[in-house]
Amino acid sequence: MTERRTLYPPIEPYRSGMLEVGDGHSLYWELCGNPQGKPVVFLHGGPGGGASPAHRQQFDPARYHILVFDQRGCGRSTPFASLEANTTWHLVEDIERLRTQVMDCERWQVFGGSWGSTLSLAYAQTYPERVTELILRGIFLFDQHEVDWLYEEGGASQVYPDGWDEFVAPIPEEERGDMMAAYHRRLTSDDEAVQLEAAKAWSKWEGVTVTLLPDPAVIEEFTEPAKAIAVARIENHYMRAGGWLEEGQLLRGVEKIRHIPGVIVQGRHDMCTPPKAAWELHKAWPEATLHIVPDGGHLYSEPGVLDQLVRATDRFADD
């Protein structure tokens, strides 16, 4: 067995800033790596998760010109945790603005995991002529059964019944028939204590499901108040709206992108975004390479998942 690939060494941005994208939103962005290298945009998960320094390290800094940014309402973008003018299609247009106004390139690689895979597909199907390759991890197509798997009883709750009990604890019994609506009421409450309690419970549930083995550090990160508020408010906002996507839309749209080289990386034991979506995407897009990692969960940092992601970025670095 060959040695698994890991992150490239830490790097710092050589330039960063804020881009006004309208509707009162400003996005934090940063450029790293080689300005003459292959352009790539990294799309983080959540929605609402924000970017981290380690995200830059999935690319060879000598060969890639890397754009990382925080999507609307999260990370260092402003206004914080805002739900106004915050939809999938706003974000697709934000990516295109970043391409023309910050990266200033004709075409670029698009790399996204989890919700970032959803957004990558939505962007690529809107602007296929701008995408050189797609690298996708932890596929989420935003079909209703995927939302129900994580947020209604009968899916991940069967695997993590203890975590599920903590997730439903802030919601009275009589409101549990519609968890999205019940959480929305609390996450948009004027009472900050109510909002934070709900946000921590929502975000902790996600933290429980994203790793193959329990990881207290991940739980601590996900329940940090600012991260929990952004993740919970924005995720709930998107989940209630079905991502502003029609059922099956991203699978039907694959015909627009089948000519684009692609790699799909999926953990076999991903309890957050189960492998069915990755398999369905691969069947619709057989030209893409699919890696189902036998000992992988959901996060990019799972050793087998990260190995395949770094191999994928290396594969396309000189194309």
Q: What are 266's two structure tokens? A: 């999926």
Catalytic one of 25, 270, 282, 291:
270
94: annotated active-site residue = no
Catalytic one of 114, 117, 120, 157:
114
Q: Compute CA 216 distance to the chain's CA centroid, rounded to the nearest angstrom.
A: 21
269: annotated active-site residue = no
Q: What are 67's two structure tokens? A: 């754009």
Q: What are 203's two structure tokens? A: 């975000």
How far is it, in rounded angstroms, from Cα 22 to Cα 219? 34
How far is it, in rounded angstroms, from Cα 217 to Cα 302? 14
301: annotated active-site residue = no
Instruction: Spell out the long-range contacts of 160-166 with Cβ–Cβ below 8 A and sequence spacing 24 or more.
Output: 160/208, 160/209, 160/271, 163/204, 163/205, 163/208, 163/209, 164/205, 166/201, 166/204, 166/205
How far is it, in rounded angstroms, from Cα 131 to Cα 124? 6
Q: Which of 83, 129, 80, 135 is nearest to 109 (CA)?
A: 135
DSSP state of 247: T
Name, in order, each residue with C-beta under 8 angstroms of 296's C-beta and a sequence gap of 6 or more: 212, 266, 267, 268, 269, 270, 302, 303, 304, 305
Catalytic one of 25, 82, 298, 307:
298
Q: Compute CA 81 distance to the chain's CA centroid, rounded to the nearest angstrom.
A: 16
Count of H helices and E strands in the chain?
A: 11, 8
Q: Give a three-class secondary structure readout of 32-94.
A: EECCCCEEEEEECCCCCCCCCHHHHHHCCCCCEEEEEECCCCCCCCECCCCCCCCCHHHHHHH
How far is it, in rounded angstroms, from Cα 100 to Cα 151? 37
Residue type, 288: A
Catalytic residue annotation: 114, 270, 298
